[in-house]
Chains A and B, each alone.
Chain A
């Protein structure tokens, strides 16, 4: 199975601290994407990183990709209470970019 797995499963931090979440996957990919899901809502796309990229930034978000280790990390700097949500990575497969696999997610709680 290609399914990615995030760790930790849950993370609780104080507002202002940084949050790091990791994702591992099993087979070669074209892209890896990170999504946020607020409770009971849909998935909001955060960042897409291609397999030939190693790092990408978007505002307070920093994503890294290590294809040799088949892993990615999402760093949220200077976290806010509004960042409280579940975060998922999603991968496709090198020979099939039209089928996506989500991990189990990291539930982030940012305490004010």
Chain B
């Protein structure tokens, strides 16, 4: 069964540095998402992406964050000038075209800011 894959599985970065989290969505999916889960807390929506542009974003997704689909397969989340509170699991998800199709999630990237 096709899967969403995320790399790296664990990223350790110094505060203030930039990180790029990578995702390869399921190949025929057209909607892409990033979520964040701080340890012990709920999964929080960050952003959705369709047709090469952001379709929705949450209050968390401020100017520090950006997303990109640099080629036909990758979907990236860039976090500039990282802060300690950015430490979390970051999940990528993708979905097919119909609104009643589920999102499929990757296993996440654990981001640790030191």
Do A and B assemble together? Answer: yes
Query: Given contacts A30-B100, A96-B56, are A42 and B42 in contact (CB under 8 A)?
Result: no
A-contact 0/1 string along B35-72, CB 8 Å cutoff: 10000011111001010000110100000000000000
Query: Out of B31, B35, B41, B105, which one reaches A98, CB within 8 Å?
Result: B31
**How many of chain B's residues touch chain A, expressed as a range?**
20 to 34
A57 within 8 A of B: no
Interface centre among B4, B43, B44, B106 (most CB of A within 10 A): B43
Query: Given contacts A98-B55, A100-B33, A104-B42, are A45 and B103 in contact (CB under 8 A)?
Result: yes
Residues of chain A in range 75-98 having any CB-CB distance to chain B below 8 Å: 88, 90, 92, 96-98
B18 CB to nearest chain A CB (Å)? 24
Residues of A within 8 A of B (CB): 3, 30-31, 33, 35, 41-45, 48, 50, 88, 90, 92, 96-105
A29 CB to nearest chain B CB (Å)? 11
Chain A binding surface, main DSSP class: strand
Query: Out of B42, B91, B101, B103, which one reaches A105, CB within 8 Å?
Result: B42
B3 CB to nearest chain A CB (Å)? 9
Can you pick out 19 interface pairs between chain A and chain B where the beta carbons lie within 8 Å of each other? A3-B42, A30-B100, A31-B99, A33-B103, A41-B107, A42-B107, A44-B105, A48-B102, A50-B100, A88-B42, A90-B43, A98-B31, A98-B50, A98-B55, A98-B56, A102-B42, A102-B43, A103-B42, A104-B42
